[in-house]
Amino acid sequence: MKIVDVYGIGKFGLSFEIFPPKTETGESQLFAALEALMAHRPSFVSCTYGAAGSTQDKTLELTTRIGKIFGVTTAAHRTCVGSTVEEIRQWLKEAVDLGIENIVALRGDPPKGQVEFKKSEGGLAYANELVTLIRQEFPHLSIAVAGYPETHQEAPSPAVDLANLKRKVKAGADAVLTQLFYDNRDFFEFRRRYEEAGITVPLIPGILPVVNLDQIQRITSMCGATIPVSFLAELEANRDDPDGQASVGVRYAIRQCRELLDAGIPGLHFYLLNKSEATFQILQALKLSR
């Protein structure tokens, strides 16, 4: 199935994002997590493209394997980091040869040690250029791109970021998957401006259930998402109780997703971090499966 056909009237898109593990143990854990979550019949599973070299080669292989083993639709992420246009083109050809139909097209973050993103020589500067390349040369591929309810960290203003997102969608994206966020008001305001700007492709909230306070503080400090004060206080109150942190996080995510569902979202994109427990509990509580 293509992402373009996942969302729409009478449909609900449920997707899971995973990353290529670095070890065999990590891989076993990932496959066990996916096995557990397949009962919820996801619309697709997407596999990230490593930020720094080591796991990049794995994305296509793992995406294909997950598709074969679980009989599920997949999407491979691709960034512009450290590649020439020709290298990206070859990678896309390989993806097509492997039967992959969906690409999550991204610019990527600056490599470790660099503050600003610098386009590689002969490479691409922004995700909209990658979308254009895919649309022109691989028109049958379906494309999702990233959107930022709290505005991308490098953007000078929400308005400029939205104009850039609009350009990226206009280049040929079929859906927008959002960065993780914890305050639904950020999403609703973003959706209002998104619609006002005339962007019509499905906007899918990205959900990362909190299971560990230190981990989520690390992640949010990197991606610029904020944790509401009252939620943070509840997590802090369980600082010495890992199970307590996870149950606060799961309860919060259930409430967050319920409110989003009531507001008519076309789908949910769960960042699994290769684990199933929290997302499984949330989907059970919401009675959500496709």
The residue from 14, 74, 88, 152 that contacts ligand FAD (CB under 6 A) is: 152
Decide if residue 108 touches ligand FAD (CB under 6 A): yes
**Can you list the alpha helix ranges (DSSP code H) found in the chain?**
24-37, 58-70, 85-97, 127-137, 158-170, 184-196, 213-223, 229-236, 242-262, 277-286
Which residues have a Cβ under 8 Å from the Cβ of 161 and sit 6 or more positions away? 148, 151, 152, 155
For CA atoms 174, 177, 178, 179, the dihedral sign is negative
Catalytic pick among 17, 101, 129, 234: 17
Q: Residues touching ligand FAD: how many (CB under 6 A)?
A: 24
Give the CA count within 13 Å in the CB-facing half-sphere of 245. 16
Place of tokens 């512009």: 80
If you ran DSSP here, which 8-state letter would residue 210 be given? -
Is the Cβ of residue 112 or residue 287 nearer to ligand FAD in the bound state?
112
160: helix, strand or coil: helix
The mark string for 116-145 relative to ligand FAD (x by CB under 6 A, - otherwise) is ----------xxx-----------------
Which residues in 192-211 contact ligand FAD (CB under 6 A)?
A: 206
What is the nearest approach in angstroms of ligand FAD to the Cβ of residue 182?
Answer: 14
Altogether, the residues listed in the chain come to a count of 290
Part in contact with ligand FAD (CB under 6 A); list of ranges 64-72, 99-107, 213-221, 255-263: 99-107
196 is catalytic: no
The mark string for 51-70 relative to ligand FAD (x by CB under 6 A, - otherwise) is x-------------------
Report, as residue numbers or ranges, the catalytic residues: 17
Residues that bind ligand FAD (CB under 6 A): 48-49, 51, 77, 79, 104, 106-109, 126-128, 146, 152, 154-155, 161, 164, 167-168, 177, 179, 206
